[in-house]
Amino acid sequence: MKAHSATSEDAITSHGIRLTPQRRYVYEALMEKRDHPTASEVFMRAKARMPSISLATVYNCLDALTESGLIRQVYCERGSSRYCPNLVPHGHFFCKTCGVVFDVPIDPAQEASWEFPEGTQLEHVEITLRGLCPACAQKQTTSLL
Ligand SMILES: [Zn+2]
Ligand SMILES: [Zn+2]
C-alpha cells in the first residue's frame, strides 16, 4: 500500500467545508489523539493552541464538521456526546468501569445479512458495544482471586 500523507486541510476541503482557522484547530484536536473526546475536552485542546477560542465556537465547529461528514458524533447513554474522526465503518466499545471508548472495525458485509422490511433505506448505522476494556477486565479477574 502506498503511504498516505493527506493533511487535515486536504481532508477538510475534500468534504466541501469552508476551512476557518477555528475549524482546523478543532479538527486537529480530534486527530491528534483519537480517544473520542467530549466537546469540553476538545475545547481544552483547541484552547492550548488558540487561547482566544470559546466553548461556543468549539460547539459550532463540531456541528459544522459533523454536518459535513468529516467527523462523527458518538452518543453516550450517560454523559456528553463524544466526537470521532474515524470515517471507516466501526462500532464503539464503551468500558462500563473506566469510561474508555475505542473503535471496533465492522465488516460492511455483515450488513448484508441483516433483515429489513422490503423497501427500507438504511442511512446510518450506530453500533454500541459495552463491557470491560482489557485493563479493567484484568483488574476484575485479579481482584476475584
Ligand atoms: Zn470512533
Ligand atoms: Zn476500562
Residues 6+ apart with CB under 8 A from 78: none
**pLDDT value of residue 3:** 44
**pLDDT value of residue 9:** 63
**Which ligand minimizes its atom distance to the CA of 138?**
2
Whole-angstrom distance, CA of residue 73 vs CA of residue 76 = 10
What is the pTM (predicted TM-score) of this model?
A: 0.78
Same domain, 103 and 67: no
Same domain, 78 and 103: no
Beta carbons of 19 and 65 less than 8 angstroms apart: no
Mean pLDDT of 5-10: 59
Same domain, 59 and 94: no
Number of domains in the chain: 2
Same domain, 125 and 96: yes
Residues 6+ apart with CB under 8 A from 49: 25, 28, 29
Same domain, 74 and 3: yes
Same domain, 19 and 56: yes
Domain holding 22: CATH number? 1.10.10.10
Show the domain range for 92: 88-145
Residue from 38, 11, 6, 5 nearest 24 by CA:
11
> What are φ and ψ of residue 79, in 5° steps?
85, 180
**pLDDT value of residue 78:** 73
Neighbours of ion ligand 2 (CB under 5 A): 95, 97-98, 100, 133, 136
Domain boundary pick from 85, 102, 123: 85
Mean of all residue pLDDT scores within the chain: 86
Report CA(139)–ligand 2 centroid distance (Å). 9
Mean pLDDT of 25-38: 92
pLDDT per residue as tens digits for the range 78-124: 778 999 999 888 999 999 999 899 999 988 787 778 899 999 998 87
